[in-house]
Chains A and B, each alone.
Chain A
């Protein structure tokens, strides 16, 4: 069974840095992309970035290019999303998701990030 377990909720101040994680199990890392999806309060879903653990190929949505960094540690089957300087507008729920080449997509449980002074 595929499982994606995300790190816990975070409360940060504007300007602080943050790195959230997503640990996967039950699948081969070379059979899928891993990515992050943002959902702002009361809003829809937006793909931010994806990474292929096989060769570390990385893609960013234009809206998020330069704003976040996606990475993966294959040795511990964990993907990360990091910010160097958070803004209040980064307050959102962040989901990791695994997109298999065969079409199925699995979701993590979500990590709530709150940025407030």
Chain B
């Protein structure tokens, strides 16, 4: 099973600041890596798929990069609605797996 390790566990930032979230895989997942945002009481929402493709309706402030084992989600300028938990997920090998999440909180 591929283990995804996200860092940091918590990111404390102010609105307008840039957020950089990391996801590291225990073995190569090629580009089959997605990022999700989840707010309390809501289903996750797809932000980025296949490492760098923004999902429909996702603003350009969200961008993804990386391949192989190291991936990054960048939020270029945090809006109040961006404070949430973010998960990465691989679909390279079954079982597909999620990282443990990074909570982006208001500083």
List chain A positions with a Cβ less than 8 A from chain B: 35, 44-47, 50, 59, 61-63, 95, 99, 103-110
A103: chain B residues at CB < 8 Å are: 32, 34, 49-50, 53
16 further contact pairs, Cβ within 8 A, besides A103-B49, A107-B45: A35-B96, A44-B87, A44-B98, A44-B100, A44-B101, A45-B44, A45-B89, A45-B98, A47-B95, A62-B1, A62-B95, A95-B43, A95-B44, A103-B32, A104-B55, A107-B43
Hey, what's the 0/1 contact readout for B30-64 against A, CB within 8 Å counting as 1?
00101010100001111001100101100000000
The prevalent SS among residues of A at the interface is: strand
B97 in the interface (beta carbon within 8 A)? yes
Please measure, in the bound complex, the distance between the C-alpha atom of A46 and the C-alpha atom of B34, giving whole angstroms.
Answer: 14
Assuming the contacts A95-B44, A109-B43, asked whether A104 and B49 have C-beta atoms less than 8 A apart, the reply is yes
Question: Which residues of A lie under 8 Å from residue B1 when comparing CB positions?
Answer: 62
- Measured CB to CB, the nearest residue on chain A to B33 is A103
Contact A105 B98 (CB under 8 A): no
Report the separation of the CA atoms of residues A47 and B96 in the bound assembly, to the nearest whole angstrom.
6
Contacts of B49 in A (CB 8 A): 103-105
Q: Chain A residues with Cβ under 8 A from B43's Cβ?
A: 95, 107-110
CB distance A61 to B95 under 8 Å?
yes
Report chain A residues within 8 Å CB of B95: 47, 59, 61-63
